[in-house]
Amino acid sequence: MKHDYSVETSSTNDIFSSSFLLGNVGAPFVIGLAVGYFAKKMLRTALFVAGGLLVLLFASEYYGITHISDTQLQQAANTATDVAKQSGEFLVNRVSNITSRGISGAAGFFAGFKLG
């Protein structure tokens, strides 16, 4: 009596197949990488512009054109920091929802943020 114990695998069940890995690991990682890279570049650009505006405000205060309150300046910085945190959390959560586990998308985001 001869038994056939061979198991047929399809690409949807085989976690090492290229179609499974590309769809569930590769593509979300690349999407997360692109979003993280873009987020870092935009953060740098926003900080550059904000720094330039602060220098202009300080110069205008020096020449007596405006007056800047330190507490208002700190409140504005705290508000900007909170907005940046919320948008970063939103992007990570959104990228994590691309696949059922979300690990590769989030890993791609952090890798892209590091590269940016």
Higher pLDDT residue, 107 or 41?
41
Strands annotated E in the chain: none
State residue 78's pLDDT score. 94
Q: Is 99 contained in some domain?
A: yes
Residue 27 scores a pLDDT above 90: no
Q: Given this model, what pLDDT does residue 22 score?
A: 57
Band the pLDDT of 58: cuts 50, 70, 90.
Answer: very high
Q: What is the pTM of this model?
A: 0.68
Domain count, the chain: 1
35 in a structural domain: yes
Provide the token pair at 4.
């056939």
Residue 12 lies in a domain: no
Give the model's confidence band at 74: pLDDT under 50 very low, under 70 low, under 90 confident, else very high.
very high
Please tell me the distance from the alpha carbon of residue 104 to that of residue 90, in angstroms, as a whole number.
16
Question: Is 80 domain-assigned?
Answer: yes
Instruction: Please report whether residue 11 resides in a domain.
Output: no
Residue 9 belongs to a domain: no
Domain that holds residue 40: 18-115
Q: How confident is the model at residue 11 (pLDDT cuts 50, 70, 90)?
A: very low
Let me know if residue 71 belongs to a domain: yes
- What six digits make up the tokens of 113? 């943020």
Are the C-beta atoms of 73 and 83 separated by less than 8 Å? no
